Amino acid sequence: MTPFARTFLGVRYDVLDLDTAAAQVAAAARRERAFRYVVTPNSKWIVRAHRGDARARTAFETAWLSLNDSRIVELLAREWFGFRLPTVTGSDLVARLFERSITPASSLVLVGGSAELEARLRRRFGVRDLRRLDPPMGLYEDDAALDAAARFVCEAPADYVFLICGMPQAEMIAERVAARGDAGGVGLCVGAAIEFLVDLRRRAPPAWRRAGLEWLHRLIADPRGHARRVFVESLPVLIVAAQARWPRRGAAG
């Protein structure tokens, strides 16, 4: 846990802006240093944590850095609770690292993604040392597959390990890598960030992102794929926040 950490709606966050977070990650990305990992919890994780996902909770709690990935969460923190919780999305963090810190000499590992994603990374950024694991489906309940993914990361040491196999599977793999103690570099659990970076998926325009409407852009672009995520998995964060802001009298009794 860093000196910048605080808990909001039951989830630990490190209160850092994008440039500070990117600088800390770049400084930690050395293979000779013990493996550290970064998580980017959003409103979906807050809801999931409140619904009792004990299997994945420690993966978030033991992360080196925990950065807020949601403009909605930032808005709730500011308007309902009166404190600043900057948004540092995984997509922005990854873009900043490739812009300022990752070079063709950097070593990368991808857990997840596709052969096309790997090829685009190589072409666009000239990365020479890049290895990728395509893990099986159903990782969340498959301890053997999670352990195998962690072993792959440890046996293929890299400066940057991008865990892009979905939340919370990515975080659970990162937790296992850190627990083994035989890896270096820094792991980043950053969802679709690499796909946005290489234009495999289209990200919301900057104006939408600044307005906190990236979720709406994704919903419009893919209503079938995102409706459940928005309305069932993420929107209940408003209920979680309201219960924290205005607790019922006598609820503790």
Q: Please list the pLDDT of the chain residue by residue as tens digits (253 residues).
A: 666 889 999 999 999 999 999 999 999 997 768 999 999 999 999 999 999 998 999 999 999 999 999 999 999 999 999 999 999 999 999 999 999 999 999 999 999 999 999 999 999 999 999 999 999 999 999 999 999 999 999 998 899 999 999 999 999 999 999 999 999 999 999 989 999 999 998 877 878 777 777 877 777 877 877 778 778 889 999 999 999 999 875 444 3
The whole-number pLDDT of residue 1 equals: 60
Among the listed residues 158, 156, 149, the one whose alpha carbon sits nearest the alpha carbon of residue 33 = 158
Among the listed residues 58, 65, 81, the one whose alpha carbon sits nearest the alpha carbon of residue 17 = 65
* 3-state secondary structure (DSSP) of residue 145: helix
The whole-number pLDDT of residue 250 equals: 46
Cβ–Cβ under 8 Å, residues 135 and 150: no
Query: Measured at the alpha carbon of residue 63, what is the angle toward residues 57 and 64, in degrees to the nearest 5?
Result: 160
The amino acid present at 236, given as its one-letter code, is P
Cβ neighbours around 124 below 10 Å, total: 12
Query: Rounded to an integer, what distance in angstroms lies between the CA atom of residue 214 and that of residue 217?
Result: 5
Query: Rounded to an integer, what distance in angstroms lies between the CA atom of residue 172 and that of residue 51?
Result: 18
Query: Rounded to an integer, what distance in angstroms lies between the CA atom of residue 28 and that of residue 36?
Result: 8
Query: Both tokens of residue 159?
Result: 């400066």
Cα 132 to its chain centre, rounded Å, is: 18
Can you tell me which residue has the tokens 């550290």?
36
Query: Both tokens of residue 146?
Result: 């999670």
Cα 117 to its chain centre, rounded Å, is: 18
The whole-number pLDDT of residue 252 equals: 44
Cβ–Cβ under 8 Å, residues 198 and 125: no
User: HSE (CB half, 13 Å, CA atoms) of 247?
Assistant: 7
The whole-number pLDDT of residue 177 equals: 97
Query: Both tokens of residue 229?
Result: 């995520």
Give 6's strand partners. Answer: 13
Q: For residue 141, what are the CA distances in angstroms to 136, 154, 232, 239?
A: 11, 21, 21, 28
> Per this entry, what is the length of the chain?
253
The whole-number pLDDT of residue 187 equals: 97
